């Protein structure tokens, strides 16, 4: 199966920049987007052959996630099951027969880590959520069968020095603070694998986000903050993990994963 994830930084804006053509070229089984910045009734997207599922923020023009899937899921979750954390449309999770697919847009800690406490609460809740799905428990407490989890999205953290162009200059800043990097490590320790680093452990200059300032994209002064993570049970089923830096339209580029789910 082919999965694609892309923080589009506003779906209405990217629709004017060949989004549908890019979508079609990927021909993904599941295509997830983050930072939709709209309510479902504010945009009309008709893509034949795909079911679509949206999770929007209460605040208009902010945050939001959506998933387009060729296969109709068994169940759709739009949140972690926490009233405080589920107001920004940051989760769209789909259950299929053999796996869970989780699309996430992680909160930004903001300048001077102004929102770091919220971010730490989110990271803990998100980790528990994903582990629960893997074990067969949904937020309502209802049990389902245990199955592996595929996680994708903008996790708003560069894990290691290799994952951004200027680590020394950014150490301690939002997205590269010890606190955020530590929580990402806890997510991996909970049983999930960074698929890109699994296949490309030493590849430098591989980034998925570039600031609009300072000509950052042209000089490749970027960060790798968009990920595909999978349960450890899927590691030997990974066929490829990619970053499509040639695709424009947002300050992020798409990332991809191919996994042989049929053998799970």
Q: List, edge to edge, every strand of the sheet that includes 65-69.
A: 51-55, 65-69, 30-34, 2-7, 255-259, 238-243
Give residues with Cβ within 8 angstroms of 25, minimum separation 6.
Answer: none
Which active-site residues does the annotation give? Answer: 105, 154
φ and ψ at residue 96, rounded to 5 degrees: -115, 175
Phi-psi region of 262 (alpha: psi -120 to 50; beta: other; left: phi over 0): alpha
10 Å Cβ neighbour count for 129?
Answer: 25
**What are the DSSP E strand ranges found in the chain?**
2-7, 30-34, 51-55, 65-69, 75-77, 91-95, 100-105, 149-154, 192-194, 209-210, 222-223, 226-231, 238-243, 255-259
Q: Which residues of 1-22 are buried (b: 16+ CB within 10 A; e: fewer)?
A: bbbbbbbbbbbeebbeeebeeb
């Amino acid at each position: 199966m082919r999965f694609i994830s892309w923080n589009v930084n506003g779906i209405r804006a990217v629709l004017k920049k060949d989004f549908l053509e890019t979508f079609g070229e990927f021909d993904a089984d599941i295509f997830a987007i983050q930072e939709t910045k709209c309510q479902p009734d504010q945009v009309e997207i008709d893509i034949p052959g795909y079911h679509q599922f949206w999770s929007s923020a209460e605040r208009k023009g902010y945050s939001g996630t959506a998933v387009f899937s060729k296969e109709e899921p068994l169940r759709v979750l739009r949140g972690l099951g926490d009233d405080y954390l589920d107001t920004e449309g940051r989760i769209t999770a789909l259950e299929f027969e053999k796996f869970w697919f989780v699309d996430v847009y992680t909160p930004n800690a903001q300048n001077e880590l102004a929102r770091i406490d919220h971010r730490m609460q989110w990271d803990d809740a998100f980790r528990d959520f994903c582990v629960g799905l893997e074990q067969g428990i949904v937020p309502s407490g209802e049990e389902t069968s245990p199955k592996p989890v595929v996680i994708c999205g903008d996790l708003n953290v560069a894990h290691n020095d290799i994952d951004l162009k200027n680590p020394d200059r950014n150490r301690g800043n939002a997205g590269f603070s010890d606190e955020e990097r530590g929580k990402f490590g806890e997510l991996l320790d909970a049983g999930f694998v960074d698929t890109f680093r699994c296949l490309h452990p030493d590849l430098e200059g591989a980034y998925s986000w570039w600031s609009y300032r300072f000509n950052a994209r042209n000089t490749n002064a970027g960060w790798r903050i968009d990920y595909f993570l999978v349960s450890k049970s899927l590691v030997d089923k990974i066929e490829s993990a990619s970053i499509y830096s040639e695709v424009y339209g947002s300050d992020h580029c798409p990332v991809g994963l191919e996994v042989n789910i049929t053998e799970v």
